[in-house]
Structure 1
Amino acid sequence: MKATTLLGLLPLVRPSLGREEAADYIIVGAGTAGLVLANRLSEDPSVTVTVIEPGADERNNINVTGTDKFSLAFNTHIDWQYSTVNQPRANNRSLPLHQGKAWGGTSTINGMTYIRGNKLEFDLWSHLGNPGWTWSTLLPYFIKSENYTLPTPSQLDAGATYQPQNHGFSGPLHVGYPAALHNGSFAPLILGAWDDMSASLAHNADLNSGDVHGFGMGPQTLDGREDVRYDSARAYYHPVEHRGNLRIVRGTVRRILWGDGGGKGGRELLRANGVEFVTDQGAVQRMRVGKEVIVSAGGVRSPLVLEASGIGNRRILESLGIETLVDLPGVGENLGGQSAHIIVFSGEMEASASAYHTHVTAAELFGANLESVRNATRESIPRWAKDMARGSRNALSPEALEKQFRLQYDLIFKHNVTPAEVITVSAPGGIMVSNYYAILPFSRGSVHLGGLDQIDKPVIDPGVFSADFDIAATTAIGRMAQRFWLSDHIRPLVTAQLVPDASALPENATDAQWLAHLRQSLDMAAHPRGSAAMMSRELGGVVDPELRVYGTANVRVVDASVIPMPISGHMSAAVYAVAEKAADIIKQNSKGQ
């Protein structure tokens, strides 16, 4: 028998783990979600919790702790530095995808923005086979996780606003505004310019109310009084690291190990009895589990752990020489992400320590073209579903994708949920920036293992611009961002358009010029989700409403990979709430066992 075949059979081994170390709960990954679970599950002193994480404790890394250091950690040792496969609709370029490799995961390197999203986007989850998952059921967990710091009078004058009923004030996660934010000329200019952009655009008093429409200053995951980033480690692990029943072990989990299947409801389910991981020194070790294995390795890595363990699309696993234990074609599919774009001007605007977020409806985005875009989108859905199903090698059915797309269409065109966002920043040195996004893209992609024991080398295909709507929405929001800086309120302060320069993208650029620019400049936002989606199995789901992997008795996935549909918020806020709710589900299940 070939060596590769022997390796592929490893998930089938029923090892006698003997005196090897054990824990009641093994959490794969000390990222944003993993450390929430570690904290909450270890509140019970009668259970033991071990987190296995390849990254290190970075609490003294200034690129993590500094509230003004965003992007400085990119391409350093705490960034996985992933790359996608070449993207045909991005001039056949491979795109970088930054994901955190540290205690705290991507919450250590993200932009710290704390915006939850629209109510209806979360309510949609229940229509995908997830009873009990709605805005109203998640809101208590948003509030439970949050420790909101009220803006100071100076910060209020600088543009920070809030509604206290939408916030928590005693959770682990500090949310607030940078210490450097103070009253100045930035807020009145921004407010006036956005107010002039559209008669229906208005200032949003609290972007975390469940309605993000309009413009407002977004809070961040930081403690303004200490001027320090609050990542998941600082919020959830450092305060409880003294617990004797909780620890982090340095290592990379390669696969879940299985024991005898357990009968449940008359069905034979796989039961995990441990994990296999590789230490920093390269040694292969095993750890036994008493209760559950919880995979919290993130939107990129969690599906890889499942595939390496024999759970996934049979055809993909067979091509890798891995024996299929649960044929679950949705693993690694349904990958959603957001393409990121930027336009930069030079000028004389005062720098601001925070940013304004503007979320617009389809009517505001497309204006006089709304009806034609709406009709084209509706008519294109069957074609997109067929094309993306084919792209998934028929792991997802056209019917399943079409159902998801029609629900998303209704959100955008019938319920006026916001499909686009502009982030407006004035940086030191007279640099004036807009980041703009189509935040509810229809495009779907995939992430899979590239080979046996290659969990650190995922094959990532986000499928950018697979749907025409995403190009139309990105073009329209880019035009709006450019128009903002050239509006009557701001234009007198502008000296030049820097990125791209005005010759490449003039003020009245054509659709063709915009398309050429977008394809050449497109980058990836660090928001991968959906690759182990919480949906019915028929729709291509990987986990059930209790976040348990279909076909298993004691394996769950809890992180951004379970979020089934795009949201208008920034991913970390939703991940914290999902993990808080998951912890309660797990505790309740444990009581019933």
Structure 2
Amino acid sequence: MTEMKFDYVIVGAGSAGCVLAARLSEDPSVSVCLLEAGGPDSSVLIHAPAGVVAMVPTKINNYAYETVPQPGLNGRRGYQPRGKTLGGSSSINAMLYVRGNRWDYDHWASLGNPGWGYDEVLPLFKRSENNEQFQNAFHGQGGPLNVTYPRFDSPLSQMFLDAAAQNGVPLNPDYNGADQEGSFLYQVTHKNGERCSAAKGYLTPNLNRPNLKVITHAVSAKINLEGRRATGVQFYQGNQLQTVRACREVVLSAGAFGSPQLLQLSGIGDASDLAPHSIAVAHNLPGVGKNLQDHIDYVQSWYVPSNTATFGAMPRGMFKTFAAMWEWRRHRTGMITSAIASAGAFFKSHPDVAIPDLQLVFVLALVDDHARKMHISHGISCHVDVLRPFSRGTVGLQSTDPRVAPVIDPRFLSDERDTQLLVKGGQMQQRIMESSAFASVRRKMLYPVRVDDAKAMEQDIRNRADTQYHPVGSCKMGPDSDPMAVVDAQLRVKGVDGLRVADASIMPTLTGGNTNAASIMIGEKAADLIRASKQNKPLGAIL
């Protein structure tokens, strides 16, 4: 095995990992190594915003994981796309910029995680952001992550806003501001008509730093431990096993599936989970791979005429798409700059609920099974999500080979409260989509169900609902009094020195909305914590 040595070794160049690598390497006196299992983010499908429709349903820059069969989904296997390239899932997602609700972060703090309340994380959101439209106390300018409205939008997005208003959901353009509730056009992570992923915003501008090394196609296999201290990482490039030493710290930013998988492969986890794989227990930490949470998502779709400003597979629509590709190539304008998901809303399932517990995402296309089922037609769709699900799942090992996918079990709808909420959300969604605002374009429903037939809607949910791509929580942050906590409020792995986790897996509970912005904030927070750590000293003699 060959060996390299750096101060910090970061596993995973996803949303948080890119932030962490960029921030730590701002200090020229330290060296940083960033390991990424995927390749460079050079594909035009990444940089052209509409390329999301080609990547999410395929294995292009995508792990394209599957879950175990889900009893709550009539035994179906769920689909779990995850980014496999620089930028991670921020390079293949729909680019919606959503922070969640103030309550989410105050709740984290109330669970025994000091420093994570809303007033404390808001400056981190602002530091990361360059918002082209909003200049107020809730938004930042000059940050690496560019946030704006897409250069293209469809008149159908305004129809959605009108339909929401017809159903009592008022307009609220700045849903990341003082109040989350209402309908809006989504802001997105775009810059000059291109995707602004975490890699594009944080990593690419700094690749020439002499103290930053990025290694792609590097599949992390094991955290090296000397006693109870992390000293480096073993990783595969092809079939060659290599080692990189960490003189200060190892930080896992491999996501809600990758981080617990690597901990378990390294003997850090629940002893009963490791025993079937004959992995020696280095540290018994029962919470690793537990507490998995994800937004369960129900999509309804309607056909529309091919002359509408939507994406579709009809000959006329394909001609429009090719013309749009040429326009994007020349000017970075037109339909290819669309995020496809254009408008949305946050609303309450009942007036007595304190904060929105349901989210809508309006899409300018006919969506069926994550776009894996294609239809020769044009259409519009809407997603509804349960924002704070009660169901909890797990992430475990399928093999001791790190190149084999982990066992993912979200246990969707295992708590009946999620089912009831999703039915309520589906009913509201359908009432909005079947409002008179859409009358001029709306045609037949792809999977017809009556809005007043709750049992039929529940059956349709169990037949077709799946993830909204926001897995979190599998390396839960919490105090020592929480037996399932994996990291403390400093993101240090409990019982192991020199090892942290910094990604969506540390979230104790799901945020109320898309999770990419929150993951970037976690990267910013981790950088501050590492730089401020009084114990942040080189290992010296033991290396």
Common fold, TM-score beyond 0.5? yes
Equivalent residue number for residue 388 of structure 2: 440
Residue 584 of structure 1 deviates from its aligned partner by 0.7
Q: CA deviation at 1:149?
A: 1.6
1:257–1:276 CA contact under 8 A, matched in 2: yes
Quote the residue 2:54 is aligned against: 72
* CA offsets 1:99-133 (integer angstroms, 9 cap, x no match): 00001101111110001011011100112220111
CA contact (8 A) 2:130 2:143 kept: yes
> Partners of 2:200 and 2:75 in 1: how far apart?
39
TM-score for both structures, normalised by structure 2: 0.87
Assess, with a 3 A threshold, how the Cα gap between structure 1 residues 329 and 455 changes in structure 2: closer, same or farther: farther
More divergent stretch after superposition (238-247 vs 68-77): 68-77
**Is 2:350 the counterpart of 1:363?**
yes
- The corresponding residue for 1:431 is 379
Identity of aligned residues (%): 33
The counterpart of 1:332, out of the listed 276, 289, 306, is: 289
Structure 2 counterparts to residues 261-340 of structure 1, below 5 A: 270-280=228-238, 282-340=239-297
Indicate the residue corresponding to 1:164 in structure 2: 136
1:267 is aligned to none
Q: 1:86-485 alignment to 2 at 5 Å?
A: 86-150=69-133, 162=134, 164-181=136-153, 185-186=155-156, 188-198=158-168, 201-209=169-177, 211-223=179-191, 226-250=192-216, 251-260=218-227, 270-280=228-238, 282-347=239-304, 350-351=308-309, 353=338, 355-363=342-350, 413=353, 416-427=354-365, 431-485=379-433
Deviation string 1:436-456 (CA, Å, 9 cap, x unpaired) is: 111211100000112222453
Take 1:441 and 1:187, find their aligned partners in 2: how far apart are those partners? 28
Q: How far, CA to CA, are the matches of 1:187 and 1:86 in structure 2?
A: 36
Question: Structure 1 residues 592 and 277 mapped into 2: Cα distance closer, same or farther (>3 Å)?
Answer: closer
1:321-370 Cα distance to aligned partner (Å, 9 max, x none): 11112111100000001122211112359537462211111315xxxxx7
How far the C-alpha of 1:306 sits from its partner, in A, is 0.6
| 107 and 210 in structure 1: CA distance in 2 versus 1, 3 angstrom threshold | farther
Aligned to 1:522: 465
Task: Determine the C-alpha separation between the residues in 1 that align with 2:267 and 2:451.
Answer: 53
Indicate the residue corresponding to 1:406 in structure 2: none
Deviates most, 349-358 or 416-425: 349-358
SS class of match (1:568): coil
Q: Would you say 1:542 and 2:524 are equivalent positions?
A: no
State the TM-score, normalized to the length of structure 1. Answer: 0.80
Counterpart of 1:54 (choices 24, 28, 37) is 37
Equivalent residues of 2:157, 2:342 under 8 A apart: no
**Partners of 2:406 and 2:481 in 1: CA distance:** 26
Offset at 1:247? 0.9
- Taking the aligned partners of 2:158 and 2:196, their CA distance within structure 1 comes to 29
Residues 440 and 566 in structure 1, CA contact (< 8 A), matched pair in contact too: yes
**1:218-269 deviation line (CA, Å, top 9, x unaligned):** 100111xx21001111111110000001011231111111124xxxxxxxxx
What is the CA distance between 1:541 and its match in structure 2?
Answer: 0.7
Q: Contact 1:67/1:178 (CA < 8 Å) preserved in 2?
A: no
Task: Look up the match of 1:403.
Answer: none
Distance 1:486 1:363 in 2: 21
Counterpart of 1:557 in structure 2 is 501
Q: Which amino acid aligns with 2:502?
A: V
Question: Which stretch shows the higher mean deviation, 423-432 or 212-221?
Answer: 423-432
Find the counterpart in structure 2 of residue 4 from structure 1.
Answer: none
Helix, strand or coil at the partner of 2:437: coil
Cα distance change of structure 1 residues 246 and 112 upon mapping to structure 2, 3 Å threshold: same
Question: Residue deviations 1:45-79, cap 9 Å, x none?
Answer: 111100111111123x1211111222311322411
- Mapped to 2, the partners of 1:560 and 1:127 lie a distance apart of 18
Answer with 317-326 or 459-468: which moved more. 317-326
Tell me how far apart the structure 2 counterparts of residues 592 and 302 of structure 1 sit (CA, whole Å): 22
Alignment-mate amino acid for residue 214 of structure 1: G
5+ residue gaps, structure 1: 1-16, 151-161, 261-269, 365-369, 371-412
Distance 1:347 1:71 in 2: 19
Q: Secondary structure at the match of 1:431?
A: strand
Q: Is contact 2:6–2:244 with CA below 8 Å preserved after alignment? A: yes
Q: Aligned pair in 2 of structure 1 residues 124, 210: CA closer, same or farther (>3 Å)?
A: farther
Structure 2 counterpart SS, 1:166: coil
Q: Shift of the alpha carbon at 1:496?
A: 1.5
* 1:491 aligns with one of 439, 442, 460: 439
Larger radius of gyration: 1
Task: Classify 1:58/1:507 alpha carbon distance in 2 versus 1 (closer, same or farther; 3 Å).
Answer: same
**Within 1, Cα distance between the matches of 2:509 and 2:155?**
38
Change in Cα spacing, 1:210 to 1:561, as seen in structure 2 (3 Å) is: farther
1:24 offset after TM fit, Å?
0.5
* Gap runs ≥5 in structure 2: 311-337, 367-376, 538-543
- Partner amino acid, structure 1, of 2:427: R
* Structural RMSD (CA): 1.9
Q: Report 1:22-37 matches (<5 A).
A: 22-37=5-20
Residue 7 of structure 1 corresponds to none
Aligned residues: 494
Residues 592, 249 of structure 1: alpha-carbon distance in 2 compared, 3 angstrom cutoff: closer
Q: Do the aligned residues in 1 keep the contact of 2:160 with 2:432 (CA within 8 Å)?
A: no
* Structure whose residues are more often helix by fraction: 1
Distance verdict in 2 for CA 1:590–1:538, change over 3 Å: closer
Q: Secondary structure at the match of 1:489?
A: helix
> How far, CA to CA, are the matches of 2:359 and 2:513 in structure 1?
10
Spell out, residue by residue over 1:266-317, the C-alpha distance to the aligned partner (whole angstroms, 9 max, x if none).
xxxx11121111112x111112110000001011110011111111101111
The structure-2 alpha-carbon separation of the partners of 1:214 and 1:22, relative to structure 1 and needing over 3 Å to count, comes to same
**Per-residue CA distance 1:146-180 (angstroms, 9 max, x = gap):** 11123xxxxxxxxxxx4533211101111111112
